[in-house]
Amino acid sequence: MWHQISSMDQLREARVKDDNWTGLSDAAERRRRQNRLHQRAWRRKKAQQTPEEHEGMIEYGPHRLSEPSGLNVDNSLTQVMDLLRAHSCRPLQLYRQLKPFTYWEMLEVQLEAINEANGVPKHTDLHPTTSSRGHRQIIPPMIPYIDSIDELDGAIPNFSFPLSADHRLIVLIQYNVLRAFMTNLSILSYLHRLPLECGAALNIEFISSAPNSIPPSLESTELQKRIAHDVWMDTFPWASMRDNLVLNRGKYDGDDLCIDLMGGLYEGFDEVEKTGLIVWGEPWSETGWEVSERFATKWSFLLKGCHILVESTNRWREARGEERLVIEV
């Protein structure tokens, strides 16, 4: 049933009834409409920005860093800004291979048709994980969506400072997770599968140098080989989690999972509580990561069989003097 467009913040850019994504059960269509609104919002804000507003920001792009006079940038903020430096170092041909969300959404439909033909239907009952998000953004989007590769040069990332200490923390956590997954995409030779709209991530420096061959932690399981699925599931360095992602297709909202992990960089943050994973070591290492308490609760079904990740989490927590998490795997 069609619901009348409301004045909710997330529908501010809606112009026609087909822009309204609320109440849609079709994840692909919902994502398509949301992305259309995000694009409009970004273009509107960019067009409305005055020279005075522009000068009131510290921008970190591939080519420059401008600091307004009188702003006290302490050492920690300088370190944050160093970490957020962009590097346009990918081959131009890679950028030209990127395809928009709509292309990958159609491919996902085709993959599921293959699975259904092979007797592996997709679930249609959503797991109770999706939580309603607040409408007030306390941290704005850090990385804009783009429409074409022409917008990549000098545009990404474009971080606005100052940020308070707790705001810096959640931004850095998600930023490093994004860098880690980009590294794993590179190892698997899947960088070209990044949606065009998110292509700005190609300007971000990898979290560490990728090995020359695929490490055992990223090698495909028998289930991955048997069931057609989207390649983003392959970037998690735990075989059990990858299998859980594949087996539970249709039971969870992939967009919601992405936002908890690193999507706040593109969508903005409604809160500063850690909701995803934290990377401490090499992105492909099973022991280089930690699970946040919120992730362990909300996405518990993805942790089934992930004993190494749980032990790694508690090892990092104990090192900080925190209590161990009790997670049933």
pLDDT in tens, the chain (329 residues): 333 333 344 555 555 556 665 666 665 566 666 666 665 565 555 555 555 444 433 332 222 223 333 333 344 445 555 555 555 556 777 878 888 888 888 888 888 888 888 888 777 666 665 554 544 567 878 787 877 777 665 544 545 545 677 777 888 899 899 999 999 999 999 999 999 888 888 888 777 777 889 999 999 999 999 999 999 999 999 999 999 999 999 889 888 999 999 988 888 888 878 889 999 999 999 999 999 999 999 999 999 999 999 999 999 999 999 999 998 87
pTM of the complete model = 0.72
DSSP strands (E only) in 3-112? 59-60, 65-66
- Calculated CA dihedral for residues 196, 182, 202, 294, nearest 10 degrees: 70
Surface-to-core class of residue 6, CB atoms within 10 Å of its CB (0-12 exposed, 13-18 middle, 19+ buried): exposed
Residue type, 117: A
Tell me, rounded to whole angstroms, the distance of Cα 217 from its chain centroid: 21
DSSP 8-state class, residue 215 = -
Query: Which two three-digit tokens encode residue 123?
Result: 């679930």
Q: How far apart are CA 263 and CA 178, in angstroms?
A: 9
